[in-house]
Amino acid sequence: MPETTSLQMKSETQPGIAGTVRGRLIRGLGATALGLVVTAIVQIVSVPVFLHFWGVKLYGEWLIISAIPTYLALSDVGFGSVAANDMTIRVAAGDRDGALETYQSTRALISVTSVLAGIALLSVIWLLPVARWLNLSSMAIYESRTALSLLSVYALVILHAGLFMSGFRCDGNYAFSILVDSLIRITEFVAAMFAVALSARPIAVAGVLLVARILGTIVKGWLMLRKSPWLREGFGRVRIAAVRRLALPALSYMAFPAGNALSLQGMVVVIGFVLGPVAVATFSAMRTLTRFAFQIADIIRLGVWPELSAAYGAQNWNLARKLHRTACQASLLLSILAVVFLFLAGGRIMTVWSHGRIVMDVSAFHWLLFVIIANSFWNTSSVATMASNNHQRIAAAYFAATAAATVVAYLLLPRFALSGAAMALLIVDITVGWFVVKSSLTELDEGLRQFLKALLRVPDGLQRL
């Protein structure tokens, strides 16, 4: 890869992208952290509100019907994510026409696939006995079908609004888009909670969520056009060639959510089969407790992602390498700090959190702490290939490894109990991690020794990037 002049991040700009790299990176990390805070607020506050006004049974049924439409998000077949990379790379290279072509082509494709998926789901809702299959007894059949339909449309609106994120991101406005999205989510959440408090039933709550999301999406689209008026809607620049170009990375990207499902739900199934439901509850609780550390590392990965894509587009390999090193270094440091905290306080947190109903398996929990470090590190490093849409090999490796983890866990569980499941996860993360880091260094044309030397150096801060 060609070298470029090393530049100070505090003064460097990317062609065609607003602001300095350092400023965008700091704002992006802050906005991503805010998004996680919003998610935590929604999860923490909604449970007692729903339980107080609806009771356990109706709330449980609401959780069931609200989970089903989320699978409509998969109907974009990964094109939304890879389009954001492609558009950012093209804008950084000064090719706005190419970015507009990608935007409109992806919009057209997602429109077709999402409508077909929506029609299929609505047909199932209204033509088949879904309520009976799901054992919904607190809602009438018409009520459950109508609420499911409204939530399905709500999911499709979210899917289409996601492409606005690509428009913000490619012009250096990633942080602003996350802020807008957080405000939309808080607004619709507050509106839904008020509806629940006013004795609204599922149909009304679903309707409130849908109206709030539609209005928020309209505002988001308007703001995107204000920031980037060249990103006009329409189908004049739709090209089949653009869809074909993105097809392989988009389909490959789907291996990540599929692998996540295998890692989370697949492991639960195996543990339940070998050790029973009590072990499932214990392992799930411990893994949930450790996942907050993964979310911290994900702030770094998501925050640096747009800047890496822009660096690729500008052919600024020095900057790309520095971003990758700094992200991995920060992720490693934060994951170690998280592990130390959980090692000291994890048992107490579990006791308070579960009201003493779940007894922690200390040995398994300690193995899961090692998983935090391994997973957080390679997950952050993976952004080097994902930001350039060259993630096909690591996506296949991740899916294969998560599938293998369930087999390894099945073999280890009888001898090591829950520690066997944690060991299986660690083995997979170390194996995948080595492959991912090597792929990232190849992408960045950087030697392993050079990378490790930079990684172990005392952090020099953003001002030196």
pLDDT band of 41, cuts 50, 70, 90: confident
What residues contact residue 11 under an 8 Å CB cut-off, 6+ apart?
20
The sign of the dihedral angle between the CA atoms of 175, 177, 183, 185 is negative
Q: What mean pLDDT is predicted for residues 290-309?
A: 84
pLDDT band of 355, cuts 50, 70, 90: confident
Residue 35 has a pLDDT of 84
Residue written as tokens 């709330």? 59
Distances (CA, A) of 207 to 63, 108, 124, 126, 445: 16, 26, 20, 18, 51
Asked if residue 413 has pLDDT above 90, the reply is yes
Rounded-to-integer distance, Cα 239 and Cα 233, Å: 14
Residue 1 has a pLDDT of 39
C-alpha R_g of the chain = 23
Q: What mean pLDDT is predicted for residues 424-445?
A: 91
Asked if residue 442 has pLDDT above 80, the reply is yes
pLDDT band of 383, cuts 50, 70, 90: very high
Residue 462 has a pLDDT of 44
Asked if residue 230 has pLDDT above 80, the reply is yes
Rounded-to-integer distance, Cα 137 and Cα 49, Å: 21
- At 21-30, the pLDDT tens digits run 778 888 888 8
Q: What mean pLDDT, rounded, does the chain reach? A: 85
Residue written as tokens 């992408």? 443
Residue 286 has a pLDDT of 87
- At 90-139, the pLDDT tens digits run 999 999 999 999 999 999 998 888 888 889 989 988 998 888 887 788 88
> How many Cα atoms sit within 13 Å of 60 on the Cβ side?
8
pLDDT band of 4, cuts 50, 70, 90: very low
pLDDT band of 6, cuts 50, 70, 90: very low
Alpha helices in 198-254 (DSSP H): 202-227, 240-253
Asked if residue 195 has pLDDT above 90, the reply is yes
Write the DSSP assignment of 120-177 as a string of letters: HHHHHHHHS-HHHHTT--SS-HHHHHHHHHHHHHHHHHHHHHHHHHHHHHHTT-HHHH
Rounded-to-integer distance, Cα 296 and Cα 337, Å: 11
